[in-house]
Amino acid sequence: MYNKLLSPLDLGFTVLKNRVLMGSMHTNLEEAKNGLQRAATFYAERAKGQVGLIVTGGISPNVEGSVWMGAAKMTTLEEMEAHKIIPEAVHKEGGKICMQLLHSGRYAYHNKSVGPSAVRAPIAPFTPRELSSEEVEQTIEDYAYASELAQMAGYDGVEIMGSEGYLINQFIAKRTNRRTDEWGGSYENRIKLAVQTVRRTRERVGENFIIIYRLSMLDLVEGGSTWEEVVQLAKEIEKAGATIINTGIGWHEARVPTIGTVVPKGGFAWVTKRMMGEVNIPLIATNRINMPDVAEQILVDGCADMVSMARPFLADENLVLKAMEDRAHEINTCIACNQACLDHTFSGKLTSCLVNPRACHETELNFEPTAEAKKMAVVGAGPAGLAAATIAAERGHEVHLFEAASEIGGQFNMAKVIPGKEEYAETIRYYDAMIQKHGVKLKLNHRVSAEELKEGNYDEIILATGVLPRKLTFEGIDHPKVLNYAEVLYDKKPVGKKVAIVGAGGIGFDVAEFLAHEGELPSLNTELYMEEWGVDMDYKTAGALEVPKISPSPREIYLLKRSKGKHGKNLGKTTGWIHRASLHMKRVNMLSNVTYHKVDDAGLHISVLDEPQVLEVDNVVICAGQESLRDLYDALKENGQSVHLIGGANVAAELDAKKAIKEASYLVAGL
């Protein structure tokens, strides 16, 4: 089925082994201690996994363009020398690698930031200084020199970042370019930086060097480009000497989610499709392409010549190899949560992956075959237990996995029913495949007891028993109106038309999302998604924005919290705004400073800032946190048995599968 995807390109680009590109991701390894060595190992593993062409994280062509002061740049021979180990490692594995050159312009997090005009970005702390005309010329020269250095370091090409609202994009859009000199005003003037950067780079590096230009095909901001302008730019970029055009979707400041888990799979491929036939060089489709079947469909539908996947290669370095060997069911799928990748990147932490903690930690976390096979019991088949059991079995241990429920997955069985989190089912599918592959002895419908574990004579016992929903104690908590989140999401108990959710953490938000939808889901239907988020697929306006057409919530929902302040401030750094915006669109009532008094037939009695009121609701859903389930742990400890405690059973922290899987992985790597 995947052969088509993986057949060699017939476009004459012999450098490309196949049609999948590993898209650029800044991992923060670029700046870490021994980071380039670690990055070399990281990229080499992906090349070994048969990725034909890799693009590095963004590297600035000059100091002002750095994302923050001290961030990676390519400006000196010394920096060039240090990079040599990366292409060398990738070439050893038969891959090709391009360096992404990214000047952040007004998105920079430092007070030396520059831009076409002194217009501050809504997401940046500093107003940029306007570049003089000579400095714009110098910036082009910096790009060309950085490309030359990349070539000297052994890279196979560069990707010039012209999208997502970074410097080149800032010059192109009227929104940010207020200049009256030769770099502003007419469209021809505004795209001059982009075109001349490609032209000068081509002159400098010669013919046998890949130049990918990442072109913003859909700005998703007011004052962005029209479609006609985007096409004009693509043609000019081709003429200037680019080898390939990659698609950029949305500026970072856009208010439309472009890669979050709410975005339908392959949901922006239609944009690249509009460009097909306008230029003669290959086009790459991007965004939310996470599995070979999605990629293949895009190619079969003629949406693009190639596809770019980025985060999916954090989740599984062998994605392409597995597809080639007809083992797609063994792929550890990127679930687009951003929790360990972009949330880390933008917090200055090392990037990794929720479902694969080895990502960017290849030099420190490895699952070597064991020299001494042990008999192990793992209790609980949620994310923590699944990771522990499958890795231990992969290492050669005899693993017995006990699960009280009739299926594996633990709380991910609740996560996967949340609109926009359907992908979480893929993690369960992956672990199911690993259980089969590595011969884990799984016992479902089996709540294991301390006696049984004692009698089993296990060398190691790992408890991953997870959590229970926290119970509250106010009056009427046992009223039939009151449900907890598990009863709603797992047991599917009916919920009325008016509902109050007690607790506005991650699970409270998810329950609100679950209750605010009916019928077809935007996360599963591209047209619906674009309508709901106000994206004009006919591209009638500059930036392609239109008034959102929101299907109303079937329920009147109140999302309540005791604390003061904005709802959702502890949600993910790069995704919290999406959850908030989504619930606002559904007109969910968000109340803070709430004191709960009682539930009775009339509804939920509360005070908001000491002002009493009754919410006349049909149901009250409690999402007030969780408590670790440790009965087994306590019993075993009492018997003096040595056990390992991981995941929610260790620390109950609501949305924390990242910690659960990481803890399991590090534990079992050393057993």
Q: Which residues pair with 101 in a beta bridge?
A: 59, 160
> Which of 50, 339, 484, 619 touches ligand SF4 by CB under 6 A?
339
Is 544:219 a contact under the CB 8 Å cutoff? Answer: yes
Q: Tell the smallest beta-carbon distance from residue 404 to ligand FAD (Å).
A: 4
Binding mask 652-671 for ligand SF4 (x = CB under 6 A): --------------------
What is the C-alpha separation between 127 and 112, in angstroms, rounded?
9
Residue 155 contacts which entry, ligand FAD, ligand SF4, none (Cβ below 5-8 A, type-dependent): none
314 lies in the binding site for ligand SF4 (CB under 6 A): yes
Structure tokens at 447: 């709540």
Distances (CA, A) of 263 to 307, 542, 636: 17, 22, 45
Q: Which helix (H) or strand (E) holds 265?
A: none
Structure tokens at 166: 């970074």
Segment interacting with ligand SF4, rule: CB under 6 A, options 172-180, 212-220, 336-344, 659-667 = 336-344
Look at residues 97, 31, 91, 89 and name the one whose alpha carbon lies nearest to residue 60.
31
43, 107, 155, 166: the active-site residue: 166
> Which of 173, 354, 386, 483 touches ligand SF4 by CB under 6 A?
354
Q: Tell the smallest beta-carbon distance from residue 572 to ligand FAD (Å).
A: 8
Residue 285 contacts which entry, ligand SF4, ligand FAD, none (Cβ below 5-8 A, type-dependent): none
Nearer to ligand FAD, 207 or 455 (CB): 455
Q: Tell the smallest beta-carbon distance from residue 438 to ligand FAD (Å).
A: 18
Annotate 314-342 with b (16+ C-beta within 10 A) or e (fewer): bbbbbbbbbbbeeebebbbbbbbbbbbbb
Nearer to ligand FAD, 76 or 570 (CB): 570
Q: Tell the smallest beta-carbon distance from residue 362 to ligand SF4 (Å).
A: 15
Nearer to ligand FAD, 160 or 450 (CB): 450
Structure tokens at 224: 């962005």
What is the C-alpha separation between 601 and 476, in angstroms, rounded?
9
335 lies in the binding site for ligand SF4 (CB under 6 A): yes
Laid out side by side, the sheet with 441-443 consists of 441-443, 398-402, 375-379, 460-463, 644-645
Angle made by CA atoms 419, 246, 25, in degrees to the nearest 5 = 65
Q: Tell the smallest beta-carbon distance from residue 288 to ligand SF4 (Å).
A: 10
Structure tokens at 386: 């699944």
Look at residues 486, 514, 500, 513 and name the one whose alpha carbon lies nearest to residue 596.
500
Write phi, then psi, for 293 (nearest 5 degrees). Answer: -65, -35
Residue 465 contacts which entry, ligand SF4, ligand FAD, none (Cβ below 5-8 A, type-dependent): ligand FAD
Residues within the interface to ligand FAD (CB under 6 A): 337, 339, 379-385, 402-405, 410-412, 414-415, 418, 447-448, 464-467, 489, 507, 510, 629, 632, 647-649, 655-658, 660
334 lies in the binding site for ligand SF4 (CB under 6 A): yes
- What's the one-letter identity of residue 234? A
- Cα 622 to chain centroid, rounded: 29
Angle made by CA atoms 258, 263, 44, in degrees to the nearest 5 = 70
Structure tokens at 365: 């976390």
Nearer to ligand FAD, 165 or 469 (CB): 469
341 lies in the binding site for ligand SF4 (CB under 6 A): yes
338 lies in the binding site for ligand SF4 (CB under 6 A): yes
- Cα 505 to chain centroid, rounded: 20
Segment interacting with ligand SF4, rule: CB under 6 A, options 61-69, 335-343, 379-387, 505-513 = 335-343
Instruction: Name 468's Cβ contacts closer than 8 Å, sequence gap at least 6.
Output: 626, 627, 629
Residue 461 contacts which entry, ligand SF4, ligand FAD, none (Cβ below 5-8 A, type-dependent): none
Nearer to ligand FAD, 500 or 545 (CB): 500
Residue 336 contacts which entry, ligand FAD, ligand SF4, none (Cβ below 5-8 A, type-dependent): ligand SF4
376 lies in the binding site for ligand SF4 (CB under 6 A): no
311 lies in the binding site for ligand SF4 (CB under 6 A): yes
Q: Tell the smallest beta-carbon distance from residue 356 to ligand SF4 (Å).
A: 7
Residue 489 contacts which entry, ligand FAD, ligand SF4, none (Cβ below 5-8 A, type-dependent): ligand FAD
DSSP string, 396-420: T-EEEEE-SSSSS-TTHHHHTTSTT
- Indicate if 529 belongs to the active site: no
Q: Which residues bind ligand SF4 (CB under 6 A)?
A: 311, 314-315, 334-341, 353-355
Active site residues: 166
